[in-house]
C-alpha cells in the first residue's frame, strides 16, 4: 500500500514535470505538507487559499499531512490559511511568472517550532578530533620522507606529493583493477613506492647533486618534475576520482565517533609504521647515520659515513612511506591524479611546524596541523579549513621560529 | 606564403565586417541571398566524449531541415568546429566560424566557455544558441544569445518541490565552491525558503581538498531530513560513501544535481535510491531520438543535452523562415515568436510541420524534443521537460518509474 502511494506520488511528480508542457504553462496553485514539532504529519487541518477577491480554494490535510493542489487563476500574491482544532497559521506566498520558479508552489508548514536536533558540541568535537588525528597521521607518514630528504641533502622536494599519488594510483591498480586484498595491495604499493623513490634519486637528483647544482635550482627542478609527473598521471588515469577498493569493511561507532573501519585500520598501520621508523632512526646503524648527516653532513662524512649511500636509502624510505600514505588517503577519500599535490601544502606545514629536518618534530607538527585543520571547522567554514591549520603554523613560528622540535642554532 | 594568407584573412574579415554593417542598416530587407549558415562550437572529444551526442544532434537536425526543403529557398550549410575544453582554443575556433560567415552559432557546451566567447559571436552579428548552458549567470546576457536548456535555478525549484513531496521539512546542502556550485546553491536556498523548508546546514567544499569529512560531519551533526549534493560526479563519490555508507543516511533522502548524476566506482548498494533531475524529453521521445542518433553514430554513449541541441538548430532555422532572412539579428528577433512565446500560435513538433505552417502564413509554436521551449524576455526557455532519474540496484541511473 505504501509502495503504491509512493509510486503514485512519483507518477504525480512526473506528470507535473513532463506530462504536458501546457499544464506547466497554464496551471497555477499551491500544495503542501503540514507537520508538528516532532516532524510527524498532521491530518484533518483545513487549508484555505485566498486572494484579493476572497477565498479561492480549500482542502483538508490527509493522513500524511498533505493537501492537494489548490488551483489559483495565475501569478500574484495569495494568502494561505491553515486551521485545525488547536492551531491556526497564515502565510502570504507569491507566485511569480519566471523561468526559474514552478507554477505550483509546494509549502511545508510546522504547527510548532521544531526543536533543533543538532548533535552536541562535545560529540562534534570528538568526531572532528579523531578525524583530525587520522589526517595528522596521514600527513606525518607522507611528510617524514620529505623531512628525511631535507635533513640528509638540504633539498626541498616539491615533487614529493607525486610520490603520494604514485602510491594511491598503484594501490588502485592492485586493489580495484587487479582485485587483490586491500592490505596486500597496500604492502605491494609501499614496496613499489620505495622503488619509485629510488628511481627518482637515480634518474634526477643524484646526477644533479653530483654536478653541484644549487639547492634553489634543485627546488625549481622539483616543481617542474612534479608538474610533469602529475600531467602524466592525469593523462593515464583521467581527472575523475575513483574508489581504492571494492572491499567493504563497514563503519565503526565508538561513542559519538563514527568512522569507516578502514580508517581505524589505517590509523593502526600508521602508528605501527611511525614507531618502526622512530626505532630505526634511533637504534639502527643506518638510522643513526641518517641523523648524523642531518645534524652535520660534513662531520658525518669525515667520520666515515657514506653520505651518498645513506641518501639513496633515505629516498627509498621516503618513497615507500609516501606511497603508503597515498594508499591510506585513497581509502579514506578516493584516488585521483592530484591527491598527493593537494596534501603537499599540509606536509610542508607539518615539516616546518615540527622543525625542518627533524623526523620526530615532523610527526608532532603533522598531528598538530591535522587536528587543528579538522577541529577548527566547527567554528570556521569547512571550505576554509586549511586556514585554521595554517594559522596555527604562523602563530607557532612567531613564538618559536625554529619549530617545535627544531634547534635554535640551526636558524640563520 | 604566410604573408599572403594573412593579407587574405584581413580582406575576408573586412568583407565580413562590411557585409555585417550593411545588413544592420536595413533590417527588414531580406539579407544576402546566400544560404543559412549554421556553425557549431562543441567539444568533439573533450569531457570524456560528453559532447559527441551534441555534434551528432546538430548534423541530424540540419539533415532533417534540408530533407524538408531547407530554409528560405536554400539548403542549410553546416560547419562544426571543435571547442575542446579550453577557452583559448575555443576562441580561435570561433574566429573560423565568424570568417566562414555563420548566421547561427550552436554552442558552447559549458556555461563558462559561452560566457568567454559570447562577445566574439554576437559582435559578428550571428545569433548564438546553446542547448547545454545551464548557469543562471547567463540569463539576459545578450540579445543575440538564446538557450534551449533550462537554468539551474529551475532545477533547484524542482528539487525543492520533490523534497517537500517526499515529506521533508529540513534540508542540508553540500555545494562545490565554484561559480556553478555557488549559483546553484543560492537558487536552491531560495527555492527551499519559498517552500518553507528549513536549511539547517550549508557546506561548501573545494575540489582540491584532501577529503570531505568536515563537510559530511557538519551535515550529519545538523541531523537534516534531506541532503542535497551539488557536486560534480568526480568529487561526490567519497561523499556518498561517507554519508550513506559510514553515517548510514537513508539514500532516498539524498538529492543530486544534474552534474552529480554520473558513473561511480563505489559500491552500487550505496547509490541505490539516490535521485536527481535531468532536463530532457519524455522517455519515449528520448528513446526514438537516441535510436536515430545511434543510427548516424554508433559509438555514442552520452545523450544528455543532445535533444535540446537538436531543438536549438531547428528553432533558429524556423526563426529564419519567419524572418524571411538569414541574418543573425533578424533571426534573433523572431526566436521568441516561433518558440511559443506569443499567444494564439499553432503548435507543431517537427521542422517539416512548422515550416509548412509558416509557409501558409500562420504563427507557430514549436514544441521541440526537449520541451515546449517558449523563450521569455531574457531568452531563457520557460517550458522545460525534466525527468526524474534514480539509481537502481546495479549502480546505474535510469528514469524513475
**Which domains are present in chain B?**
2-149+285-360 (3.40.50.2300), 153-273 (3.40.50.2300)
- Asked whether B77 and B58 are in contact (CB, 8 A), the reply is no
Mean pLDDT, chain B, integer: 86
B215, B238, B246 member nearest A241 (Cβ): B238
B154, B167, B203 member nearest A99 (Cβ): B154
Three-class SS state of A286 = helix
Q: Tell me the nearest-neighbour CA distance from A209 into chain B, angstroms.
A: 32
B157, B248, B367 member nearest A102 (Cβ): B157
Three-class SS state of B272 = coil
For residues A95-108, one letter each, b for 16 or more C-beta atoms within 10 angstroms of the residue's C-beta and e for the rest, the string is beebbbbbbbbbbb
Instruction: Name which of A225, A251, A99 is nearest A156 in CA terms.
Output: A225
In whole angstroms, give the CA distance from residue A97 to residue B392.
36
Residues contacting residue B1 through CB under 8 Å, at least 6 positions apart: none
B169, B214, B223 member nearest A385 (Cβ): B214
The ipTM assigned to this model is: 0.84
Q: Tell me the nearest-neighbour CA distance from B350 into chain A, angstroms.
A: 16
CB pair distance less than 8 Å for A382 and B387: no
Nearest CA in chain A to B161: A106
CB pair distance less than 8 Å for A241 and B220: no
SS3 content of chain A, % helix, strand, coil (to 5): 60, 15, 25
Cβ neighbour number for residue B373 with a 10 Å cutoff: 27
In whole angstroms, give the CA distance from residue A66 to residue A42.
8
User: Cell numbers of B29, please?
Assistant: 530587407
User: Cell numbers of A154, please?
Assistant: 638540504
In whole angstroms, give the CA distance from residue A111 to residue A347.
52
Q: Tell me the nearest-neighbour CA distance from A151 into chain B, angstroms.
A: 26
Residue B230 has pLDDT above 90, yes or no: yes
CB pair distance less than 8 Å for A243 and B211: no
Residues in chain A within 8 Å Cβ distance of B311: none
Which 8-state DSSP code applies to residue A304?
T
pLDDT of chain A, 412 residues: tens digit per residue: 444 444 444 444 444 443 333 334 468 899 999 988 888 888 888 999 998 888 899 899 998 889 989 999 888 899 999 988 888 888 888 888 777 788 889 999 888 776 667 788 899 999 999 999 999 999 999 999 999 999 888 889 999 999 999 999 999 999 999 999 999 999 999 999 999 999 999 998 999 888 888 989 999 999 999 999 998 998 888 777 888 888 888 889 888 899 999 999 999 999 999 999 999 999 999 999 998 888 888 888 888 888 889 999 999 999 999 999 999 999 988 899 989 999 999 999 999 888 877 888 899 999 999 999 999 989 988 888 888 878 888 888 888 888 877 765 544 3
586491500: which residue's cell?
A182
Q: Tell me the nearest-neighbour CA distance from A245 into chain B, angstroms.
A: 8
pLDDT given for residue A17 in this prediction: 40
- Does B158 contact chain A (CB < 8 Å)? yes
- Does B46 contact chain A (CB < 8 Å)? no
- Note the pLDDT tens digit of each residue in B139-185: 889 999 999 988 888 899 999 999 999 999 999 999 998 878 888 99
pLDDT given for residue A114 in this prediction: 65
CB pair distance less than 8 Å for B371 and A21: yes
Nearest CA in chain B to A116: B222
User: Cell numbers of A235, please?
Assistant: 593523462
Which 8-state DSSP code applies to residue B401?
-
Three-class SS state of A103 = coil
In whole angstroms, give the CA distance from residue B129 to residue B116.
14
Give the number of C-alpha atoms closer than 13 A to the C-alpha of residue A215, restricted to the C-beta side: 8
Residues in chain B within 8 Å Cβ distance of A235: none
CB pair distance less than 8 Å for B214 and A329: no
pLDDT given for residue A26 in this prediction: 61
Residues in chain B within 8 Å Cβ distance of A168: none
Provide the pairing of β-strand A46-51 with A54-60. antiparallel
Domains recognised in chain A with CATH numbers: 2-110 (2.60.40.10), 121-410 (1.10.3470)
- Asked whether B336 and B375 are in contact (CB, 8 A), the reply is yes
User: Cell numbers of B339, please?
Assistant: 518558440
- A162 to A223, B99, B111: CA distances (angstroms): 11, 44, 32
Instruction: Name which of B15, B14, B26, B18 is nearest B330 in CA terms.
Output: B26
For residues B58-79, one letter each, b for 16 or more C-beta atoms within 10 angstroms of the residue's C-beta and e for the rest, the string is bbbbbebbbebebbbeeebbbe
pLDDT given for residue A404 in this prediction: 79
- Asked whether A91 and A109 are in contact (CB, 8 A), the reply is yes
Residues in chain B within 8 Å Cβ distance of A17: 158, 277, 385-388
- Does A253 contact chain B (CB < 8 Å)? no
For residues A208-229, one letter each, b for 16 or more C-beta atoms within 10 angstroms of the residue's C-beta and e for the rest, the string is bbeeeeeeeebeebbeebbeeb
- Does B378 contact chain A (CB < 8 Å)? yes
Nearest CA in chain A to B400: A10
In whole angstroms, give the CA distance from residue B7 to residue B13.
10
Three-class SS state of B337 = helix
Residues in chain A within 8 Å Cβ distance of B401: 7, 10
Which string of DSSP letters, residue by residue, matches B151-217? PHHHHHHHHHHHHHHTT--EEEEEEESSHHHHHHHHHHHHHHHHTT-EEEEEEEE-TT-S--HHHHH
Three-class SS state of A254 = strand
Cβ neighbour number for residue B346 with a 10 Å cutoff: 13
Give the number of C-alpha atoms closer than 13 A to the C-alpha of residue B267, restricted to the C-beta side: 14
CB pair distance less than 8 Å for A106 and B241: no
- Report B:295-334 residues touching A (Cβ under 8 A): none
Residues contacting residue A165 through CB under 8 Å, at least 6 positions apart: A229, A230, A233, A326, A337, A338, A339, A340, A341
- Asked whether A186 and A325 are in contact (CB, 8 A), the reply is no
pLDDT given for residue A411 in this prediction: 42
Which string of DSSP letters, residue by residue, matches B374-399? EE-TTS-EEE--EEEEEE-TTS-EEE
Q: Tell me the nearest-neighbour CA distance from A231 into chain B, angstroms.
A: 16
CB pair distance less than 8 Å for B167 and A339: no
- Phi–psi pair at B76, nearest 5 degrees: -75, 135
- Asked whether B54 and B306 are in contact (CB, 8 A), the reply is yes
- Note the pLDDT tens digit of each residue in B213-225: 999 999 999 999 9
In whole angstroms, give the CA distance from residue B17 to residue B286.
41
User: Cell numbers of A104, please?
Assistant: 505550483
Three-class SS state of A259 = strand
User: Cell numbers of B262, please?
Assistant: 554520473
Number of inter-chain CB pairs under 8 A, A vs B: 197
B48, B168, B210 member nearest A329 (Cβ): B210
Alpha-carbon dihedral B348, B351, B352, B358, rounded to 10 degrees: 70
CB pair distance less than 8 Å for A260 and B242: yes
Please tell me the pTM assigned to this model: 0.79
In whole angstroms, give the CA distance from residue B79 to residue B56.
12
pLDDT given for residue B87 in this prediction: 86
Q: In what order do the strands lie in the sheet with B386-391?
A: B198-205, B170-176, B226-230, B254-256, B275-279, B386-391, B397-399
In whole angstroms, give the CA distance from residue A141 to residue A327.
11
Q: Residues A136, A342, A376, CA angle at the centre, nearest 5°? A: 45
Mutation target to probe the B interface, by most B beta carbons within 10 A, among A334, A335, A366, A369 is A334
B150, B277, B388 member nearest A99 (Cβ): B150
Cis peptide before B79 (omega within 30 of 0): no
Residue B383 has pLDDT above 90, yes or no: no
pLDDT given for residue A111 in this prediction: 83
A117, A127, A336 member nearest B217 (Cβ): A127
In whole angstroms, give the CA distance from residue A232 to residue A162.
11
Q: H helices within A182-336, ranges in order?
A: 182-200, 206-210, 215-237, 261-283, 285-295, 297-302, 307-332
SS3 content of chain B, % helix, strand, coil (to 5): 45, 20, 35
In whole angstroms, give the CA distance from residue B70 to residue B318.
10
521537460: which residue's cell?
B385
CB pair distance less than 8 Å for A176 and B205: no
User: Cell numbers of B143, please?
Assistant: 540579445
- Does A14 contact chain B (CB < 8 Å)? yes
Provide the pairing of β-strand A104-110 with A28-35. parallel
B160, B209, B378 member nearest A342 (Cβ): B209
Residues in chain B within 8 Å Cβ distance of A13: 161-162, 165, 388
- Report A:66-125 residues touching B (Cβ under 8 A): 66, 91, 93, 98-102, 104-110, 114, 116-119, 123-124
- B94 to B22, B139, B178: CA distances (angstroms): 22, 21, 26
In whole angstroms, give the CA distance from residue B159 to residue B390.
13
Amino acid at each position: 500500500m505504501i509502495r503504491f502511494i509512493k509510486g503514485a506520488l512519483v507518477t504525480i511528480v512526473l506528470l507535473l514535470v513532463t506530462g504536458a508542457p501546457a499544464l506547466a504553462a497554464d496551471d497555477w496553485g499551491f500544495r503542501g505538507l503540514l507537520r508538528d514539532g516532532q516532524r510527524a504529519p498532521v491530518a484533518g487541518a483545513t487549508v484555505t487559499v485566498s486572494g484579493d477577491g476572497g477565498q479561492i480554494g480549500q482542502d483538508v490535510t490527509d493522513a500524511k499531512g498533505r493537501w492537494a493542489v489548490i488551483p489559483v487563476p495565475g501569478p500574484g500574491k495569495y494568502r494561505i490559511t491553515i486551521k485545525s482544532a488547536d492551531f491556526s497559521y497564515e502565510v502570504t506566498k507569491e507566485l511569480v511568472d519566471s523561468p526559474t520558479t514552478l507554477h505550483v508552489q509546494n509549502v511545508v508548514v510546522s504547527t510548532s517550532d521544531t526543536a533543533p536536533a543538532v548533535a552536541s558540541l562535545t560529540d562534534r568535537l570528538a568526531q572532528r578530533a579523531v578525524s583530525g588525528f587520522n589526517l595528522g597521521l596521514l600527513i606525518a607518514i607522507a611528510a617524514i620522507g620529505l623531512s628525511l630528504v631535507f635533513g640528509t641533502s638540504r633539498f626541498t622536494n616539491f615533487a614529493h606529493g607525486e610520490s603520494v599519488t604514485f602510491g594511491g594510483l598503484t594501490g588502485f591498480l592492485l586493489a580495484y583493477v587487479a582485485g587483490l586484498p586491500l592490505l596486500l595491495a597496500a604492502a605491494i604499493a609501499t614496496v613499489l613506492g620505495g622503488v619509485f623513490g629510488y628511481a627518482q634519486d637515480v634518474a634526477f637528483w643524484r646526477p644533479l647533486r653530483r654536478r653541484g647544482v644549487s639547492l634553489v635550482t634543485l627546488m625549481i627542478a622539483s616543481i617542474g618534475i612534479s608538474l610533469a609527473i602529475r600531467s602524466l598521471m592525469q593523462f593515464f588515469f583521467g581527472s575523475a576520482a575513483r574508489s581504492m577498493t571494492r572491499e567493504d569493511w563497514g563503519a565503526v561507532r565508538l561513542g559519538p565517533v563514527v568512522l569507516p573501519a578502514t580508517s581505524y585500520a589505517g590509523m593502526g598501520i600508521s602508528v605501527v609504521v611511525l614507531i618502526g621508523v622512530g626505532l630505526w632512526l634511533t637504534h639502527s646503524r643506518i638510522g643513526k647515520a641518517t641523523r648524523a648527516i642531518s645534524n652535520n653532513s660534513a662531520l658525518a662524512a669525515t667520520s666515515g659515513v657514506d653520505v651518498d649511500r645513506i641518501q639513496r636509502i633515505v629516498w627509498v624510505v621516503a618513497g615507500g612511506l609516501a606511497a603508503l600514505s597515498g594508499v591510506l588517503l585513497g581509502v579514506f577519500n578516493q584516488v585521483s591524479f592530484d591527491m598527493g599535490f593537494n596534501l603537499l601544502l599540509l606536509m610542508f606545514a607539518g615539516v616546518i611546524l615540527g622543525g625542518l629536518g627533524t623526523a620526530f618534530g615532523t610527526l608532532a607538527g603533522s598531528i598538530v596541523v591535522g587536528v587543528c585543520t579538522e577541529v577548527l571547522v566547527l567554528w570556521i567554514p569547512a571550505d576554509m579549513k586549511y586556514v585554521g591549520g595554517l594559522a596555527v603554523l604562523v602563530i607557532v613560528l612567531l613564538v618559536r621560529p625554529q619549530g617545535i622540535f627544531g634547534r635554535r642554532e640551526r636558524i640563520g | 606564403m604566410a604573408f599572403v594568407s594573412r593579407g587574405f584573412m584581413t580582406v575576408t574579415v573586412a568583407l565580413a565586417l562590411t557585409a555585417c554593417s550593411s545588413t544592420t542598416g536595413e533590417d527588414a530587407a531580406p539579407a544576402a541571398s546566400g544560404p543559412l549558415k549554421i556553425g557549431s562550437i562543441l567539444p568533439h572529444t573533450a569531457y570524456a566524449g560528453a559532447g559527441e551526442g551534441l555534434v551528432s544532434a546538430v548534423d541530424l537536425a540540419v539533415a532533417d531541415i534540408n530533407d524538408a526543403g531547407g530554409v528560405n529557398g536554400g539548403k542549410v550549410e553546416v560547419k562544426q568546429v571543435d571547442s575542446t575544453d579550453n577557452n583559448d582554443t575555443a576562441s580561435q575556433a570561433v574566429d573560423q566560424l565568424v570568417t566562414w560567415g555563420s548566421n547561427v552559432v550552436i554552442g558552447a557546451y559549458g556555461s563558462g566557455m559561452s560566457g568567454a566567447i559570447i562577445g566574439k559571436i554576437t559582435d559578428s552579428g550571428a545569433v548564438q544558441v546553446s542547448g547545454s548552458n545551464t548557469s543562471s549567470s547567463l540569463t539576459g546576457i545578450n540579445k543575440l544569445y538564446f538557450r534551449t536548456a533550462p537554468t539551474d535555478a529551475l532545477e533547484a525549484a524542482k528539487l525543492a518541490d520533490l523534497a517537500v513531496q517526499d515529506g521533508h521539512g529540513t534540508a542540508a546542502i553540500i555545494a562545490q565552491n565554484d561559480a556553478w556550485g555557488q549559483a546553484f546553491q543560492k537558487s536552491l536556498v531560495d527555492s527551499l525558503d519559498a517552500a518553507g523548508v528549513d536549511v539547517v546546514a550549508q557546506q561548501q567544499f573545494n575540489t582540491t581538498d584532501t577529503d570531505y569529512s568536515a563537510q559530511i560531519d557538519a551535515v550529519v551533526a545538523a541531523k537534516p531530513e534531506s541532503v542535497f549534493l551539488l557536486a560534480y560526479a568526480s568529487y561526490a563519490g567519497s561523499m556518498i560513501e561517507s554519508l550513506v555508507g559510514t553515517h548510514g543516511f537513508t539514500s532516498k533522502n539524498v538529492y543530486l544535481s544534474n552534474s552529480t548524476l554520473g558513473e561511480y566506482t563505489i559500491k552500487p548498494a550505496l547509490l541505490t535510491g539516490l535521485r536527481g533531475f535531468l532536463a530532457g524529453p519524455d522517455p519515449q521521445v528520448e528513446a526514438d531520438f537516441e535510436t536515430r542518433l545511434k543510427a548516424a553514430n554508433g559509438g555514442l554513449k552520452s545523450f544528455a543535452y543532445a535533444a535540446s541541441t537538436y531543438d536549438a538548430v531547428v528553432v533558429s532555422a524556423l526563426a529564419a523562415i519567419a524572418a524571411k532572412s538569414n541574418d543573425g539579428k533578424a533571426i534573433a528577433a523572431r526566436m521568441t515568436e516561433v518558440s511559443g512565446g506569443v499567444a494564439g500560435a499553432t503548435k507543431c513538433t517537427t521542422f517539416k510541420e512548422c515550416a509548412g505552417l509558416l509557409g501558409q502564413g500562420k504563427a507557430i509554436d514549436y514544441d521541440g524534443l526537449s520541451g515546449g521551449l517558449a523563450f521569455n524576455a531574457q531568452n531563457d526557455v520557460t517550458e522545460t521537460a525534466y525527468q526524474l532519474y534514480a539509481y537502481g540496484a546495479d549502480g546505474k541511473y535510469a528514469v524513475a518509474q
